[in-house]
Chains A and B, each alone.
Chain A
Amino acid sequence: MAERDDDPVRAGLARLSAALRVDPPPDELVSTVDARIAMLPVPAPRSGLRLHVTRIADRLRRHRRAAIAIAIALLLGVLAVSPAGARIAEWLGIGAVQIQQEQSPTIGPPDTAAADGFTQLTLDEARARAGFPLVIPGELGPPTRVLIGPGDAVVSAVWADGDPASPGSGAVRFDQLAGQPDYAAVKKYAQDIEFTQVHGQDAFWLRVPHPLVYVDPTGLERTERSRIAGPTLIWLDGPVTMRLEGVGAKERALQIARSLG
């Protein structure tokens, strides 16, 4: 890249970089890490035919953990509404979860999400980049736009003209989020949630507006501050969490969810 040697700032940064004193890691780093990972399961990739039975058992276990993670987030959301909520959350030992109450939320259309590190690309490019197999609900036809989120961990498909079954109903967005369940999409501040099922898996129907919060595969919690989400259906499919936003009627949302292919 074009370095300008005459730039005193860049020259200063180069000197600083050379002069910064950072010690090497302590000798015991290797042994400490080894002792800590000794009790963890082997991080085998979840693909291929190997260990099929284990995979199914593992999947069941992970699903339950996902349901718990989402349930806790929802519970916190409810708690946060009451003045004592923050204290209760603290008491539960979930202090790391940040709770912020949004002032007078306005519902943003689901197609304005190119912010917060999302970039637009084609569906084929998204398939190549995402670390999981992408699906598109047949009921909605080809999406208008496809976006990929930070770390390639979220793929969003947007239908700008909305659900073809109800023209003029506003944009629809379908997100697929990779990751282990504690890293799955979580929702907060839900004051009204309905439990339902998609293909026999637990699903959550959120009718009320809520800010969108998720945790990416490296454990970083991200909030899409740019907007507040409308009615949303969330469900799990293997290691991928799905969310469908912008379809107003629950029955129709479920129908779309079942048309994945």
Chain B
Amino acid sequence: MTISQDPPDGEVVDRVRSGDRAAFAVLVRRHGGIARRTAAVLGAGADTDDVVQEAFVKAYRALASFRTDAEFRPWLLRIVANETRNHRRSTGRRTARETAALPPVTAGTDETTRQHEDLELFRTQVGALPEPQRLVVACRFLLDLDEAQTAQVLGISRGTVKSRTHRGLARLRDVLTDAAEGVRHGRT
């Protein structure tokens, strides 16, 4: 996603670890966008910026344990995901449920009002999935992470990613079918 990968993350990490604190800014700039999107999509809501900031500070502190042969981004996003979860937990269950689980959608230029409403509705339906399924669906389809990356970011096994994806999609399919039935019976 980021085009300028020069110098590579691994080299920047090495510089930070050898005491070049300013080099960490390269990582913050490079991955700040995806970190923020991840926090927002996983449900950080109004506290997204706090979560991102906290995650970067934690990442710096944990940098000693980062294995330079690994990819930096999923490692960072794991911390972002944990921080989002901790945050949602600490704000309390009810608040977490009331908080919109997904960021708002923009209206496309060539989009009809009806299409936009449908998308809004779909957004709420995805946000209303049970948390384990919602997180997996968000990682796979809204952050475009593959199964292995999703497993790493959420700290679960690939098998669990598979089964939760399957259940989440099945549930959304049911919801869409119900809505379509509703349209046939109700609106026409």
Contacts and interface: CB of A to CB of B under 8 A. Distances in A.
A25 B25 contact: no
Interface residues on B, range: 35 or more
A216 interface: yes
Given A43-B61, A45-B17, A29 B52 contact: yes
Given A24-B33, A25-B49, A44-B18, A178 B65 contact: yes
Contacts of B128: none
Interface in B124-176: 126, 137, 141-142, 144, 146, 152, 155-157, 160, 169, 172-173, 176
B32 A22 contact: no
A53 interface: no
A32 B119 contact: no
Contacts of B41: 20, 22
B21 A32 contact: no
B19 interface: yes
B25 A34 contact: yes
Contacts of B78: 151, 218
B88 interface: no
Interface string A47-61: 000000000000000
Interface in A149-178: 150-151, 178
A44 B64 contact: yes
A20 B105 contact: yes
Contacts of B141: 10, 13-14, 16-17
A38 to B, nearest CB: 7
Contact of A117 (B56, B105, B160): B160
Interface of B is mostly: helix
Given A13-B142, A29-B28, A42-B21, A151 B176 contact: no
A217 interface: yes
Nearest to A150: B155
A36 B61 CA distance: 11
Contacts of A33: 24-25, 28, 53, 56-57, 60
A30 interface: yes
B90 interface: yes
A29 B32 contact: yes
A204 to B, nearest CB: 24
Given A25-B49, A29-B53, A117-B156, A38 B137 contact: no
Given A16-B123, A119-B157, A23 B36 contact: yes
B96 interface: no
A13 B126 contact: yes
Contacts of A36: 53, 57
Contacts of A7: 169
Contacts of B82: 218-220
Nearest to B173: A9
B106 interface: yes
Given A24-B32, A38-B21, A16 B122 contact: yes
B63 interface: yes
Contact of A40 (B18, B60, B119, B160): B60
A84 interface: no
A44 B17 contact: yes
A34 B144 contact: no
B97 interface: no
Which residue among A33, A46, A131 has the maximum number of chain B CB atoms within 10 Å of its CB? A33
A96 interface: yes
Contacts of A150: 155-156
B62 interface: yes
Contacts of A24: 32-33, 36
Interface of B: 16-19, 21-22, 24-25, 28-29, 32-33, 35-37, 40-41, 49, 52-53, 56-58, 60-65, 67, 78-79, 82-83, 85-86, 90, 102-106, 108, 119, 122-123, 126, 137, 141-142, 144, 146, 152, 155-157, 160, 169, 172-173, 176
8 contacts: A1-B146, A12-B122, A12-B172, A17-B144, A20-B123, A37-B21, A43-B17, A131-B65
Give me the 9 closest cross-chain CB pairs, A-B, nearest first.
A43-B63, A13-B141, A25-B32, A19-B105, A43-B64, A150-B155, A220-B82, A22-B37, A21-B106
